[in-house]
């Protein structure tokens, strides 16, 4: 007879019941093979025993037989819907698949049948945290504390749960209760120290500064808090908030501890009522005096010297900047210009720096061919030239910069920085091929340096030399990786992924570009998953302060520029794909040159070899592969499948979703959101996106294009037409599905604020053009609009050629966009434009005739012989 309450289908005879316990033990000891055998023994007699089926499925999953395992688990759950073991196993598997929502549902089921199971409760708490379900989290943590009040972590975890829910007062209460009952704290208990610091943070966030300070002082004195830097930082910060006269001394202590930390100076000055970010003339002398005193006290610290440059003006600045520059040029500090660049916001400071450095150069200059006179330190000479080259290039005087660099390189041909910067100047001039060649030369001067190597790879990507870039990256990636690109992706190198994706896009390979942008999305997904283990770990380690910072960081993760860029760029490709589905079926290799195809074949072969070798490696069948699926092998090496996947717009919308809260001030993001929303017929969202964009930059050319687009797409709707549109509409503007009336009402309420009501779109467009006729990007936008409105091609071409007029501001980027537009509308005048643009940007190479591109690309790889004899080695 089964014990009461156990359904007959679950009850096993004594023998099998013992076997089942063995299965559990084997699983816990990760003796998977034995566990499997034992489970099979039970199933032989009781093939429908749900719990055994689930355990077998779990074991198989650990052994890497994932699909089979999952199937068994599902079966097991079906056979025994009221078993907490079945639901727990199902939850474990779902958690392993990172399907946190479903996992939590399973755990909730499991808890219905075993409400006090600590393991399940703890796992549920982690899932609730991951999903930010803080009300439920508080409840779970309460239950855990009730079950085991003797565990420190259960108290802290409850306090954290309240904190996350925003209930600081409760959080504080729990900590106080905990501290009242805690006993036998050993000396030097790092954990207790962290808990107390957390308590002080809670008080600080409650603005209970006096209490916070008292708690801090008590426990600092008793040495319960042992993190000295934290004590000092908390103390200084809280004293400042209390506006206590003691604050100054506290900040002074921190500066002594670390005289290179800007925050400490800022804190010190604020205790003297000086805001370092807004120094006014009447407090300037006082602020400067304080900083000068610190310079005296800490002559080796750079921070006070540099801060004094920011604060000082006029003659005083000149006096200070001269020795600052001189000592660093003598030392050969490569970052000197980057360090001072921020000061250039003040023209006065900029000019002062220029005259100081030029004066210094005058004392060093000598005939270019003559050897350096012994009175002159060649190092200072070179670094001075290097500084000035950066200075002039920054101010747009690229020719001058090149001249200075050539002098420097003739003098010292062995310093990589000179070559790297020469490459950078060429890049700014629109010559990515020359740039790549020069940076490669820098790399060859120090083959041991990964930094130079990475720069070289990046510049090759900028020149569209993708295989060659990967080859050079491969000199530093892991030798046993499938490929250099895979290693960089596995190591989450966003720098590489972004550059390669952009390069693929410029080369017209949408499939590969999309693949790399989505690889970036995957990196961020992984970053999001990374926090999961810490929900349990940090509470056990009591590193609560930094854990709370982790959660906050995770919540804003996708505001990172790499994600924003990738999401927008990928969404553009997906929108293009929606507009022109033939893109997906177009031969994906058509754009590859013969050499590229060959290289690709070679890479594929190498990849195959690595995989075969991996297969040969001995593998024990008992090996635990864990619950998380390992990365499957790349089934889509050229991204074609990604391009062919269904529902491009839905995928784009998903990518862009986080930007609507995390990249609110990015107009490109709103434009991208609009482009997707309007095609998904989400009219309200489209209008909102336009509104956001409008608020950010009302005269944005990209927005102009979208406003017209929107009006054209909505216009045939009678509901809208009556309200707002009186113009006739060009061809191709009708939609199969129009906004329904309620949406139309909202739209009609919003749109007139963005777009004048009683005006034809043509007139609206020419009005925009007139207003911004001297802006290259606006001229291009207006031409795009008139093309969309059905103007004849010749007219559109003539309009866009206006960017070349003398009174139009045109940068290389816009000229490249113009060229791309001409190519898109298959203009016969494209080469004419390229030739004219090439003349306008005399040192550029991006506008050479298409036929010459292969030759140029080759030239980017050709490195002239570096001078063999190394005269003066400076590095």
Partner 1 sequence: MNIRLARVDDLMGMQACNLQNLPENYTLKYYLYHALTWPQLSYVAEEDGKIVGYILAKMEEDVQEGDEPHGHVTSISVLRSYRRLGLAKRLMIQSQEAMATVYKAAYVSLHVRKSNRAALGLYRDTLGFTVKDIEKGYYADGEDAYAMRLSLKDLAR
Least distance between partner 1 and beta carbon 666 (Å): 17
Query: In angstroms, rounded to a whole number, what is the distance separating the alpha carbons of residues 105 and 124?
Result: 9
379 belongs to the binding site for partner 1 (CB under 8 A): no
**Residue listed under structure tokens 């660049």:** 341
Tell whether residue 787 is a contact of partner 1 (CB under 8 A). no
Angle at 751 between CA 747 and CA 753, to 5 degrees: 140
Binding flag, residue 256, partner 1 (CB under 8 A): no
Give residue 49's Cα distance to chain centre. Answer: 48
- Exposure letters 437-448 (e unless 16+ CB within 10 A, then b): bbbbbbbebeee
Q: Got the DSSP string for 66-87?
A: HHHHHHHHHHHHHH-TT-HHHH
Q: Name the token pair of 206.
A: 């409650």
- Of 261, 754, 812, 856, the residue at the interface with partner 1 (CB under 8 A) is 261
Q: Please choose, out of 60-68, 351-359, 446-454, 763-771, the segment that lies near partner 1 by the rule CB under 8 A.
A: 446-454
Task: For the CB of residue 588, give the shortest distance to partner 1 in the complex, in Å.
Answer: 29
Does position 376 bind partner 1 by CB under 8 A?
no
Q: Judged by CB, which is closer to partner 1: 228, or 858?
A: 228
Among 60, 144, 156, 226, binds partner 1 (CB under 8 A): 226
Residue closer to partner 1, measured from CB, 96 or 334: 334
Q: Least CB distance from residue 701 to partner 1, whole Å?
A: 29
Q: Is residue 766 close enough to count as binding partner 1 by CB under 8 A?
A: no
Name the residue nearer to partner 1 (CB basis): 528 or 638: 528
Among the listed residues 817, 841, 857, 850, the one whose alpha carbon sits nearest the alpha carbon of residue 429: 841
- Is position 258 an interface residue for partner 1 (rule: CB under 8 A)? yes
Rounded to the nearest whole angstrom, what is the least distance from the CB of residue 863 to partner 1 in the complex?
20
Q: Which of residues 496-515 bind partner 1 (CB under 8 A)?
A: 496
How open is the CA angle 638-640-641, to the nearest 5 degrees? 115
x/- mask, partner 1, residues 535-554, rule CB under 8 A, reads: --xx--x-x-xxx-xx-xx-
| Residue nearer to partner 1 on the CB measure, 63 or 494 | 494
List the structure tokens of 153. 């972590």
Q: Within 176-205, which residues bind partner 1 (CB under 8 A)?
A: 188, 190, 193
Provide the minimum distance between the beta carbon of 492 and partner 1 in the complex, in angstroms, as a whole number. 6
**By rule CB under 8 A, what count of residues binds partner 1?**
62
In terms of CB distance, is 298 or 750 closer to partner 1?
298
Q: Does 342 bind partner 1 (CB under 8 A)?
A: yes
Q: Which residue in the set 403, 449, 525, 762 belongs to the binding site for partner 1 (CB under 8 A)?
A: 449
CA 638 to chain CA centroid, Å, is: 24
- Which CB atom, from 230 or from 715, has the smaller least distance to partner 1? 230
Tokens read off for 439: 């940076």
The stretch near partner 1 (CB under 8 A) out of 199-207, 334-342, 635-643, 715-723 is 334-342
Interface mask (CB under 8 A) for partner 1, residues 381-420, using x and -? ------------------------------------x---
- CA separation for the pair 847, 449 (Å, rounded): 33
- Min dist CB 534 to partner 1, Å, is 6
Q: Given the structure tokens 């920054």, which residue do they identify? A: 394
Q: Does position 333 bind partner 1 by CB under 8 A?
A: yes
Least Cα distance to 704 among 632, 766, 650, 619 occurs for: 766
Q: What is the 3-state secondary structure (H, E, C) of 515-572?
A: HHHHHHHHHHHHHHHHCHHHHHHHHHHCCHHHHHHHHHHHHCHHHCHHHHHHHHHHHH
| Beta carbon nearer to partner 1, 236 or 574 | 236
CB 55 within 8 A of CB 39: yes
Q: Is 221 exposed, middle or buried (0-12, 13-18, 19+ CB in 10 A)?
A: exposed
The stretch near partner 1 (CB under 8 A) out of 84-92, 329-337, 638-646, 667-675 is 329-337
Segment near partner 1 (CB under 8 A), from 140-148, 491-499, 597-605, 683-691? 491-499
Query: Is 84 in contact with 52 (CB distance < 8 Å)?
Result: no
Question: Applying CB under 8 A, which of residues 365, 495, 629, 749 lies at the interface with partner 1?
Answer: 495
- Per DSSP, the residues of 635-670 read S-TTSHHHHHSS-HHHHHHHHHTTHHHH-TT-HHHH
CB atoms closer than 10 angstroms to residue 722 = 11
**Interface with partner 1 includes 561 (CB under 8 A)?**
no
Helices 347-364 and 378-394 cross at an angle (nearest 10°) of: 150
Nearer to partner 1, 546 or 698 (CB): 546
Per-residue contact flags (x/-) with partner 1 for residues 124 to 153, judged by CB under 8 A: ------------------------------
Question: Which residue has tokens 């295989």?
Answer: 467
Burial of 315 (0-12, 13-18, 19+ CB in 10 A): exposed
| 452 vs 703 by CB, closer to partner 1 | 452
Closest of 748, 749, 695 to residue 721, by C-alpha = 748
Find the binder of partner 1 among 183, 345, 479, 605 (CB under 8 A): 479
Give the integer Cα–Cα distance in Å for 856 and 142. 69
Among 228, 598, 753, 852, binds partner 1 (CB under 8 A): 228
Least Å distance between CB 720 and partner 1? 45
- List interacting residues with partner 1 (CB under 8 A): 188, 190, 193, 226-230, 257-258, 260-263, 300, 302-303, 331-335, 338-339, 342, 417, 448-452, 454, 476, 478-480, 488, 490-496, 526-527, 530-531, 533-534, 537-538, 541, 543, 545-547, 549-550, 552-553, 560
């Amino acid at each position: 007879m089964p014990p009461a309450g156990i359904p007959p289908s679950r009850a096993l005879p004594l023998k099998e019941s013992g076997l089942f316990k063995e299965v559990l033990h084997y699983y816990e000891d990760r003796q998977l093979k034995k566990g499997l055998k034992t489970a099979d023994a039970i199933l032989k007699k009781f093939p429908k025993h749900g719990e055994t089926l689930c355990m077998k499925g779990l074991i198989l999953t650990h052994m890497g037989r994932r699909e089979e395992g999952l199937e068994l688990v599902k079966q097991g759950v079906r056979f025994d819907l009221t078993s907490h073991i079945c639901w727990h196993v199902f939850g474990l598997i779902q958690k392993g698949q990172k399907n946190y929502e479903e996992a939590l549902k399973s755990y909730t089921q499991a808890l219905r049948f075993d409400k006090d199971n600590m393991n399940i409760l703890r796992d549920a708490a982690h899932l609730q945290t991951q999903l930010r379900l803080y009300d439920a989290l508080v409840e779970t943590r309460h239950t855990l504390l009730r079950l085991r009040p003797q565990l420190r972590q259960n108290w802290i975890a409850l306090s954290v749960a309240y904190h996350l829910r925003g209930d600081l007062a409760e959080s504080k209460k729990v900590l106080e209760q905990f501290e009242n009952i805690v006993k036998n704290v050993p000396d030097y208990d790092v954990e207790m120290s962290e808990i107390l610091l957390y308590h002080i943070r809670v008080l600080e966030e409650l603005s209970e500064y006096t209490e916070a300070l008292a708690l801090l002082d008590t426990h600092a004195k008793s040495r319960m808090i042992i993190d000295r830097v934290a004590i000092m930082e908390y103390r200084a910060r809280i004293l400042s908030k209390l506006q206590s006269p003691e604050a100054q001394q506290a900040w002074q202590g921190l500066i002594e501890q670390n005289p290179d930390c800007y925050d400490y100076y800022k804190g010190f000055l604020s205790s003297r009522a000086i805001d370092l970010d807004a120094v006014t003339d009447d407090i300037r002398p006082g602020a400067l005096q304080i900083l000068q005193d610190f310079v005296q006290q800490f002559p080796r610290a750079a921070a006070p010297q540099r801060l004094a440059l920011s604060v000082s003006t006029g003659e005083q600045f000149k006096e200070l900047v001269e020795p600052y520059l001189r000592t660093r040029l003598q030392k050969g500090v490569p970052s000197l210009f980057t360090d001072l660049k921020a000061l250039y916001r003040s023209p006065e400071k900029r000019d002062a720096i220029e005259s100081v450095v030029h004066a210094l150069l005058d004392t060093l200059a000598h005939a270019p061919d003559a050897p350096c006179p012994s009175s002159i330190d060649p190092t200072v000479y070179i670094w001075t030239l290097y500084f000035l080259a950066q200075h002039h290039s920054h101010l747009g005087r690229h020719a001058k910069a090149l001249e200075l660099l050539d002098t420097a390189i003739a003098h010292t041909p062995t310093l990589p920085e000179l070559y790297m910067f020469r490459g950078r100047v060429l890049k700014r001039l629109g010559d990515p091929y020359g740039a790549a060649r020069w940076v490669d030369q820098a790399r060859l001067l120090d083959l041991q340096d990964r930094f130079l190597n990475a720069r070289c790879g990046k510049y090759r990507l900028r020149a569209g030399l993708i295989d060659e870039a990967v080859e050079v990256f491969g000199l530093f990636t892991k030798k046993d990786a499938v490929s250099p690109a895979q290693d960089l992706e596995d190591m989450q190198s966003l720098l590489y992924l972004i550059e390669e994706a952009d390069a693929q896009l410029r080369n017209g390979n949408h499939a590969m570009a999309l693949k790399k942008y989505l690889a970036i999305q995957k990196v961020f997904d992984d970053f999001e998953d990374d926090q999961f283990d810490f929900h349990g770990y940090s509470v056990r380690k009591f590193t609560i302060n930094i854990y709370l910072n982790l959660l906050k960081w995770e919540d804003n993760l996708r505001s990172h520029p790499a994600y924003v860029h990738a999401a927008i760029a990928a969404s553009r490709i997906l929108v293009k794909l929606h507009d022109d589905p033939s893109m997906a079926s177009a031969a994906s290799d058509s754009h590859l040159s013969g050499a590229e195809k060959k290289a690709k074949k070679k890479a594929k072969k190498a990849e195959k070899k690595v995989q075969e070798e991996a297969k040969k490696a001995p593998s024990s069948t008992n090996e635990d592969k864990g619950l998380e699926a390992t990365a499957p092998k790349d089934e889509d090496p050229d991204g074609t499948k990604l391009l062919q996947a269904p529902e491009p717009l839905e995928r784009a919308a998903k990518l862009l979703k986080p930007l609507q809260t995390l990249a609110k001030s990015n107009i490109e993001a709103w434009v991208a959101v609009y482009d997707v929303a309007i095609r998904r017929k989400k009219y309200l969202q489209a209008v909102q996106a336009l509104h956001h964009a409008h608020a950010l930059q009302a005269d944005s050319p990209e927005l102009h294009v979208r406003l017209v687009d929107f009006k054209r797409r909505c216009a045939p709707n009678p509901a809208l037409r009556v309200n707002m549109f009186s113009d006739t509409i060009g061809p191709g503007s009708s939609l199969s599905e129009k906004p329904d009336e309620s949406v139309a009402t909202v739209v009609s309420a919003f749109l007139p604020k963005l777009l004048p009501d009683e005006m034809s779109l043509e007139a609206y467009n020419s009005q925009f053009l007139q207003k911004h006729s001297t802006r290259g990007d606006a001229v291009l936008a207006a031409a795009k609009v008139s093309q969309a409105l059905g103007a004849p091609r010749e007219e559109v071409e003539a309009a866009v050629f206006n960017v070349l007029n003398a009174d139009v501001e045109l940068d290389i980027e816009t000229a490249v966009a113009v060229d791309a537009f001409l190519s898109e509308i298959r203009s016969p005048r494209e080469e004419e434009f390229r030739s004219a643009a090439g003349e306008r940007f005399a040192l550029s190479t991006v506008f050479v005739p298409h036929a010459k591109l292969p030759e140029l690309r080759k030239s980017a790889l050709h490195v002239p012989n570096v001078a063999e004899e190394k005269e003066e080695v400076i590095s």
